[in-house]
Every structure is written in C-alpha cells, then in structure tokens.
Amino acid sequence: MTHQHEGDDHDHDHDHAHPHAEISEGRPGYYDIMETAVRELLIEKKLIRADEIRRQIEVLDSRSPALGATVVARAWTDPAFRARLLANGRAACEELGISFYDDTSLIVIENTDKVHNLIVCTLCSCYPRPVLGLPPDWYKAKPYRARAVVEPRAVLAEFGTIIPDDVDVRVHDSTAMVRYLVLPKRPTGTEHFSEEELAALVTRDTMIGVVPATVDVARPAP
Amino acid sequence: MTPTEKLVNRLPNDVGGLPADPIQRVEHELEPWEKRCHALADVLDFHKIINTEEKRRGVEALGAEMVVKLSYYERWIVAFANILFQKGILTPTELALKMKEVESRSSEG
C-alpha cells in the first residue's frame, strides 16, 4: 500500500528546524523574502496598508490560551454564563471582552461524566484562534489530523488520557467558518477555588480536549 | 478503488481517517516572517482578497510533493502568490523583480 502522495512522517517536523529556513547570519530565506515582496507589492497597489499588518501582529500577540481559560473558569463558576456559552460561544466570549477578528462562529462543547470531546481540523488547521491563539504544530500535522477522527481513544492515550469505555468520545472537525472549543470538566476538590485559581488549571490542551483539567497542572507561562 | 480513483477521491489535504504515525507533540515559536505571513493572511481575508477556503484550496493546489516538503507558512506564502497571480492582482514577473529588490536590500544591510 502506498500513500506517498499523502505525505509521510516528515510533515510534522517541517515547521521547526526546517532545512530551507535560512536563519543563519540573519540573511532572510527565500520564503521570508517572498512574504516581504508580496506584502510590499500589495501595499504599493493600495490593496492593504502596512499599519493593518502591524495591527494584526499585535492582535495575534494578544491571543493565548489564557483567554480561553478565563472563559472556562467563568463557565465553571457562573451557571447562567455557562448556559449562554453553550448556546452561543462567540457571543458569550464577546461578553467577556474577547473580540473575534474573523467571521468564524464558535461552538463550545462540554465534557461531562458521559461525554469526552476532542477538536481537530482534518483538512488543515482551523482552530479557535480568537480565544486560544495559534495552534501547536502537532495540531496542524498529519498524524493528529488523520487519526483523531478514526481512533480518538488511541490518540488520547498518546497524550496520557485514558477515557473509560462507558464514556462516549466525540470528535469535532472544524471548518473555515465553524470552530470548536472544549469546556473541560471542573476538577473535583476545587469547590473553594477562586475564579482566578480555576483559570490557572485550564491549559490549552484541556480546551483542545486531549487532556483533562487537573489540580496539579499549573498553566505554563504564555 | 483503483489507485487513480483513490487519487481523485482524496486530495492532499484530505487526510482524515488515513493511517498515520504516532503523534509527536512538536511546537515552535513562530519566526518573525511566519508571524508576518499569518498577519498577511488575516488582512487579505479582511479585505476579501483571499479567504480561508481559497487559502486552503491554494495550498492543496500546490500538489502533494510541495504539501509535504514545504513548511506550513512556506505553503501559505506560495499559495498566496499563486492565487494573486490567478486573480490578476500580481504577475509572476512583478513578484520576481520585487523579490530581487528585497534580497539585494537585505544583503546590503
């Protein structure tokens, strides 16, 4: 069986340590130069403006899983907010001052004792960027995209997450217009936690759905 | 399905359900040019010059070999250039000349 045209095990590691990325000596590489050239031509033609690019870089820098964590912690502590979040993810996030800089809608799916949810984008790399920032490389690489939809329990096990047989696993495949966010289960023993303390338990991977939120994992610095 | 039917039924991006290797939990901080490329994609989308679907199809149209061998943002910028050529917004000659200019500018600096 040959799937050579589908790629091979190389496509996961090409976003880092790429042999073509000429980062040595500060000399820009071919694709770096291409990006600059395309951008400058579009600016010269007045189709885009330089300040729009600068502004969007600031927007990208302002997004991280810390935003999603505040949404989750609020949902854990405020049942009315949780209901609004599950009814319309985007509107509820906007309530908390999180702007959506694109046209995407957001569906928040809740993990329960009966259901564990996982998000993926099989076709490419769609991801709830306004609330989580940019996706990790493994999310964009073939192994996760290919396997999450057929053997989610095996994929989860590779993240150290074992889902009991009596819990359904549901996989949500993102599109250009519809993005998903997992609302993880609130860990037991956190009844006395403040909203801020709760938010510190919510990592990016808990909101992708590959790991549960736990009390002994503090969120790494963004 | 015959081998050619398989090709027709599955374009390079359509990997959902295929056998694949174990997940390797790699991540990296974006290079400055990669972040600029991402911002460029968003701005092109805001102006309805290239939307997300066009971008995805543009990457797919690079063909299987480039999809595998180029890195994520390398695929994006090449796809943008091709889409802009197709839309008559840029020409290949214009881009080639501009890249030469950018390169000579940076080698002076």
CA distance B17 to chain A (A): 5
Instruction: Mark whether A136 and A183 lie in a shared domain.
Output: yes
Look at residues A12, A41, A61 and tell me which one is the last residue of a structural domain: A61
Q: DSSP label at A113?
A: S
Instruction: Mark whether A85 and A38 lie in a shared domain.
Output: no
Q: Spell out which residues of chain B touch residue A57, defining contact as CB-CB under 8 Å.
A: 35-36, 39
CATH, residue A148: 3.90.330.10
Q: How does pLDDT run along chain A (222 residues), one tens digit per residue?
A: 333 333 333 444 344 444 444 445 578 999 999 999 999 999 999 999 999 999 999 999 999 999 999 999 999 999 999 999 999 999 999 999 999 988 899 999 999 999 999 999 999 999 999 999 999 999 999 999 999 999 999 999 999 999 999 999 999 999 989 999 999 999 999 999 999 999 999 999 999 999 999 997 654 544
Three-state DSSP class for residue A141:
coil
Domain of A54?
26-61
Distance CA B59, CA B12 (A): 9
Residue A220 falls inside a structural domain: no
Q: Spell out which residues of chain B touch residue A146, defining contact as CB-CB under 8 Å.
A: 15-20
Instruction: Mark whether A46 and A70 lie in a shared domain.
Output: no
Residue A126 falls inside a structural domain: yes
In the numeric block, the tokens 């985007």 are attached to A90
Q: Name the token pair of A138.
A: 């493994």
Instruction: Mark whether A158 and A170 lie in a shared domain.
Output: yes
Query: Could you give the domains of chain B?
Result: 32-108 (1.10.472.20)
Q: How many domains does chain A have?
A: 2
Look at residues A61, A88, A106 and tell me which one is the last residue of a structural domain: A61
Instruction: Mark whether A82 and A185 lie in a shared domain.
Output: yes
Instruction: Mark whether A45 and A79 lie in a shared domain.
Output: no
Residue A17 falls inside a structural domain: no
CA distance B105 to chain A (A): 10
Residue A96 falls inside a structural domain: yes
Alpha carbon distances (Å) from A219 to A152, A198, B27, B35: 24, 10, 16, 24
Residues A203/A213, Cβ–Cβ less than 8 Å? yes
Inter-chain CB proximity B72 and A123 less than 8 Å: no
Residues A202/A220, Cβ–Cβ less than 8 Å? no
Longest alpha-carbon distance in chain B: 56
